[in-house]
Amino acid sequence: MTVNEDREALAAEYVLGTLDADERARVELMLETDPPFATLVHAWEKKLGELHNVIAPVEPPADIWQRIVSRLDGASATSGGADVIDLTRRLRRWRSAAVVSGALAASLLLFVAVKETAPHLLPAPLRPAERFVAVLQEGNGSPGFVMTVDLKSKSFSVRKVGGEPPAGRSYQMWFVHPSFPGGPRSLGVFTDRVPDISATLAQYSPDIVNNATYAVSIEPLGGSPTGSPTGPVPYHGKLIEVDR
Amino acid sequence: MSTPAELVEWLNAVSQGDRAAFERLYGATRAKLYGVVLRILRRRELADEVMQEVYLKIWSSAGQFNPGLASPITWMVTIARNRAIDLVRKRREVSIEEEPEAMDVAAELPNPLARRELTEEVRRLMACIERLEPERQALVLLAYRNGWSREQLAAKLGRPVNTIKTWLRRSLLEIRECLGS
């Protein structure tokens, strides 16, 4: 099978639903970071999507609607991990909606000018964020690694909060951004010490650092022999702002 | 049954935070989505929980629905299947044979494959699946309906996992060729 057929089959099997948990996590990472692959997946969703017609409808219990509504009402009051991430996403969407709104354009221009030239003049919530954190977690939400970034001091660190890799294997950390032509780039291998991710990340612009996806794969002892992830990628996550 | 145009309209309203449209959307799609997740999860308490998560996700991401990529019901079913499959993959202790009584409920409903009610797109897809060898037809349909992994399919069909993997790949690529022609 060619590489293209491998990607095609991976996309198709993801949509059909036959991949195992690690493979699904890998696909979900690729969906965020590999637009041509995401297009393949969407094409398969369209091809196979109509299969839902072969499944008999079943009336759900009557109380489910009420439970959905009360969770909607409670969503703004809770602060569970998934909710925070969801809200952060929504916040980003609102912000980008504001950016394209013509009515706001003039004041935004001024805001951008001040932000670029004299950020200390802005009230705290409008200053560019400087501290970020990413929790690299498994698909089921179990955290494996916590990464912190302080853009001001250019300090980047990661620590392991989850379990050990399987015997004879090493964790290796990666980051990937849509602008990387060759896919994920290594941030180092976890040995008896954590890798110094600052050495690599300090060379990248804040825009790339902030918008990259971070991930940890399971590799042969000592790290991937190929320079790209070769094993399962159980942990991944993105940075969110922490100081607003 | 609601028309796709109505579903698109409701999804659009939901993306603006319209609760009434959300309730209509729920009413029109709940049995379809519950059938999908119950089939995969096989346990009502899991299906009930996933249903809530799925509709909360639909509520928060309705603005991302793109009618150019999928029909509204396909988009919603995709969210539901992904959530249900992610959950069963994490819960390996849920065995294939567990909780048969949930399945009986589904089995009592009328055969959803009454051909004349199907859209042109489904008929084409089913025609392509029927061109596969019988065992592979069963493989694709079992995988879709039950959300089974290759390992589960291998156990169910009494074949090695590698054989299942090869069959799945070939079958899917043949379906693609057939649909493309």
**What are the pLDDT digits (tens) for A125-158?**
445 567 788 888 886 667 788 888 888 788 888 9
In degrees and rounded to multiples of 5, residue A148 shows phi and psi of -125, 145
* Cβ–Cβ below 8 Å for A54 and B175: no
Which residues in chain B touch residue A139, judged by CB atoms under 8 angstroms apart? 86, 89-90
| CA atoms of A69 and A119, how far apart (whole Å) | 41
- Packing angle of the helix pair B161-180, A3-16 (nearest 10 deg): 100
| CA atoms of B141 and B129, how far apart (whole Å) | 9
Which residues in chain A touch residue B51, judged by CB atoms under 8 angstroms apart? 60, 64, 68
Which residues in chain B touch residue A16, judged by CB atoms under 8 angstroms apart? 140, 143-144, 168, 172
In this predicted model, what pLDDT tens digit does every residue of B83-119 receive, in sequence order? Answer: 999 999 887 644 545 544 444 333 333 344 444 556 7
Please name the residues between 135 and 154 in chain B that touch chain A, using a CB distance below 8 Å: 140-141, 143-145, 147-151, 153
The answer on pLDDT for A105 being more than 80 is: no
Take residue A45 and report the two structure tokens written for it.
């969703």
In this predicted model, what pLDDT tens digit does every residue of B142-178 receive, in sequence order? Answer: 999 999 999 999 998 899 999 999 999 999 999 999 9
CA distance A48 to chain B (A): 8
Instruction: Identify the three-state secondary structure at position A12.
Output: helix
Facing B173 at nearest CB: one of A8, A55, A139 = A8
Percent of chain A at pLDDT > 90 equals 25
In this predicted model, what pLDDT tens digit does every residue of B40-82 receive, in sequence order? Answer: 999 999 999 999 999 999 999 999 898 888 889 999 999 999 9
The contact set of A with B (CB < 8 A) is 1, 5, 8-9, 12-13, 15-21, 24, 42, 45-61, 64-65, 67-69, 71-72, 75, 86, 90, 93, 139-140
* Cβ–Cβ below 8 Å for B38 and A58: yes
Question: What pLDDT does residue A86 have?
Answer: 44
Percent of chain A at pLDDT > 70 equals 75
What average pLDDT does range A21-43 have in this prediction? 89
The partner residues of A158 in beta bridges, in order of sequence, read: A147
- A79 confidence band (pLDDT: 50, 70, 90): very low
Alpha-helical regions (H) of chain B: 4-15, 19-41, 44-61, 72-90, 100-108, 120-130, 134-146, 150-157, 161-180
CA distance B168 to chain A (A): 8
- A28 confidence band (pLDDT: 50, 70, 90): confident
- Measured at the CA of B12, the angle between CA A35 and CA A87, to 5 degrees, comes to 65
Taking CA–CA distances from A139, the nearest residue in chain B reads: B86
- B181 confidence band (pLDDT: 50, 70, 90): low
Whole-complex ipTM: 0.89
* Cβ–Cβ below 8 Å for A55 and B39: yes
Type of residue found at A33 = T
Which residues in chain A touch residue B140, judged by CB atoms under 8 angstroms apart? 16
How large is the greatest C-alpha to C-alpha distance in chain A, in angstroms? 62
Instruction: Identify the three-state secondary structure at position A191.
Output: coil
* Cβ–Cβ below 8 Å for A13 and B89: no
| CA atoms of A20 and A168, how far apart (whole Å) | 22
Kindly state the DSSP code that residue A157 receives in the 8-state scheme: E
Taking CA–CA distances from B64, the nearest residue in chain A reads: A93
The answer on pLDDT for A5 being more than 70 is: yes
Which of B30, B59, B124 is the best residue to mutate to test the A interface, defined by the most A CB atoms within 10 Å of its own CB?
B30
The answer on pLDDT for A3 being more than 90 is: no
Take residue B135 and report the two structure tokens written for it.
């065992």
| CA atoms of A19 and A99, how far apart (whole Å) | 39
Q: Which among A233, A243, A188 is positioned nearest to A20, based on CA atoms?
A: A233
Please name the residues between 16 and 75 in chain B that touch chain A, using a CB distance below 8 Å: 19, 23, 26, 30-32, 34-36, 38-40, 44, 47-48, 51-52, 55-56, 59-60, 63, 69-71, 73-74
What average pLDDT does range A89-110 have in this prediction? 45
Taking residue A199's Cβ as centre, other Cβ atoms within 10 Å add up to 11
CA distance A182 to chain B (A): 26
* Helix H or strand E segment including A176: strand A169-176
Q: Is A56 exposed, middle or buried (0-12, 13-18, 19+ CB in 10 A)?
A: buried
Question: What pLDDT does residue B1 have?
Answer: 57
The answer on pLDDT for B35 being more than 90 is: yes
CA distance B48 to chain A (A): 7
Domains of chain B: 1-109 (1.10.1740.10), 114-181 (1.10.10.10)
C-alpha A139 chain-centroid distance: 11
